[in-house]
Structure 1
Amino acid sequence: MTVTLDPTDWLILAELQRDGRVPFTELGRRVSLSASAVTERVRRLEAEGVITGYRADVDLAKAGFAVLAVVRLKYPGSRHEPLHRLLGERSEILECLRTTGDDCYTLKVAATSMPHLERLVDELAGFGSTTTSIVYSQTLPYRGPGLRNATPS
């Protein structure tokens, strides 16, 4: 079900993506609402499932995960539960997208070293053919689901 959002809701979402810990009084100031009005809107957005959570952005290299990679997986099987279990168990797998095209899954993974990445890719290769790309740098940092300064037409 699609939720109808007005321009103020979009402003609130943009501000919360920029800083999920902003106090409601400051958030209200930024979007020209009282603290109580902005609190009510945020609670509604949470209740309707538009806001699904809050997160901390982590510098992976400083946390000991110096190797970032994208792994594409061609999964020939029809039973995806074993792979889904592995995805849930391995915290090094940061994201997984089920995709169309030649690859079935695209995964973003973090590893402490090249041998660590190799072990992880070997484990994933047990499910199908893999292609791994090492990330040199992140040109565009995570910015949520692309809602900053964007509104549907």
Structure 2
Amino acid sequence: MKRLAICLCLMATLASAQEVAEAPGAKLRLLDKLTGKVTDLDLSKGQSQTIGRLTVQMDGCRYYPDSPAAEAFAHLTILDSNVPDPVFNGWMTASSPALSALDNARYDVWVLRCAVPDVVLPEVEDPPEDTPGEGQPAEDNPDATTDDGNG
């Protein structure tokens, strides 16, 4: 009898750990590997947006209600204007984008998070712009020094 009670408790714990909620939207990130341009997409369920050759449609986003910022699972349909069939149609996981990834030579798309109502995430500042002279190779920057002792 004790074994049955323990099994039922464990099953209840596992079942509650697997509970997910549906979000009204998601935040995705798209990288154009050719230009290096990064674009963030805020899409509602069923909405799509076209960037370059890709059209990204967000079909659904799920998250764990007890920790909504911890994980996101988004179902995406991604079309390439050069290909008749979808280049991706399935679930992407925010914490493991390579687990189910878009296989495209030019673009990467990954899930950042679900758009969860009543959850306020901290604002993150954009990195500062490079000032002239910074970030340039030494041969292009007369003020830069090298470690070989030649200035």
Q: Fold conserved (TM > 0.5)?
A: no
TM-score (norm 1): 0.23
TM-score (norm 2): 0.23
Between structure 1 and structure 2, the one with the greater Rg is 2
Kindly indicate which of the two structures has a greater share of residues assigned to strand: 2
